[in-house]
Amino acid sequence: MWLLPTIEVCVLTAPGPLNSTAGSLFVVATPIGNLDDISARALKVLREVKLIAAEDTRHSQRLMQHFGISTPLAACHEHNEREEGSRFITRLLAGDDVALISDAGTPLISDPGYHLVRQARAAGINVVPVPGACALIAALSAAGLPSDRFIFEGFLPAKAVGRRARLQALKEEPRTLIFYEAPHRILECLQDMELVFGGERLALLARELTKTFETLKGLPLEELRAFVEGDSNQQRGECVVLVAGWTAPENEDAVGSEAMRILDLLLKEMPLKRAAALAAEITGVRKNVLYQVALDKQKAE
């Protein structure tokens, strides 16, 4: 049985000094489909800790049974994490090692755990990552899209207005974009991406990763949307959507950022032809080049 908390858990962001008598909090990744993806280290940790904090204890019980692990499980989900976190901290401060797991993949990645990890670090508890499966990294590793820089956006807003506004804000993001999406919204999501990013932008749908019906389909958004629209099976299962980052039209690169800034300002005030002519006079860049850039921009908007 848990003891009542004996400390006031502080929620400062800065970690306290490491408490050498406390146990460690192990943040353990579990499989996202294929159970063989669990690491030997994860299994060892889950066997050896005194308690496992799990997003859904019934769900994780099946995983534990599969691997013959009998460590007790306690719920740590988004609804109780803030309040109940102090109970886990109490156990840790008493010297017990605790593992944190979510239903699938890496805890804290669109999953609970952030508040517990933050509280543990603030209390000077050693927090140890035990890495493993993560859907966004698995998808990126096989997508063939630039992977040197990327951004993870998690789930987009469920309603169209919010979703489109978020996509609009990301329209000129040059890094590869990664989203999680629910199967019943995948079609609307791709439709909105096509609308905002344009049908030619390259994208990839990574579905049911590591499972029997794993599908990775990379196509321009217009074709990817049509592919998903035409096959209801593609609207099932778990999915990650990756979208290539924005690249400036070739001419725009050649024009330079200062000339672009001036052209953009003038375009807000006057017709395209006049704006290109005036920008050419101010910047010395050729009028027909600026005219073409302005036209390309207008088409893309």
* Binding-site ranges for ligand SAM (CB under 6 A): 32-33, 102, 104-106, 109-111, 134-136, 180-182, 206-211, 238-240
Closest distance between ligand SAM and the C-beta of residue 284, in Å?
A: 49
Cβ distance to ligand SAM smaller for residue 90 or 102: 102
Cβ distance to ligand SAM smaller for residue 195 or 216: 216
Cβ distance to ligand SAM smaller for residue 23 or 33: 33
Closest distance between ligand SAM and the C-beta of residue 183, in Å?
A: 8
Closest distance between ligand SAM and the C-beta of residue 96, in Å?
A: 25
Closest distance between ligand SAM and the C-beta of residue 136, in Å?
A: 6
Q: What DSSP string runs through the chain?
A: -PPPP-S-----SS-----TTS-EEEEE-B-SS-GGGS-HHHHHHHHHSSEEEESSHHHHHHHHHHTT----EEE--TTTHHHHHHHHHHHHHTT--EEEE-SSBSTTSSSS-HHHHHHHHHTT-EEEEE----HHHHHHHHH-S--SSEEEEEEPPSSHHHHHHHHHHTTT--SEEEEEE-GGGHHHHHHHHHHHH-TTSEEEEEESTTSTT-EEEEEEHHHHHHHHHT-GGGGSS-EEEEEPPP---HHHHHH-HHHHHHHHHHHHHS-HHHHHHHHHHHH---HHHHHHHHHHHHHH-
Closest distance between ligand SAM and the C-beta of residue 58, in Å?
A: 16
Cβ distance to ligand SAM smaller for residue 170 or 266: 170
Cβ distance to ligand SAM smaller for residue 163 or 297: 163
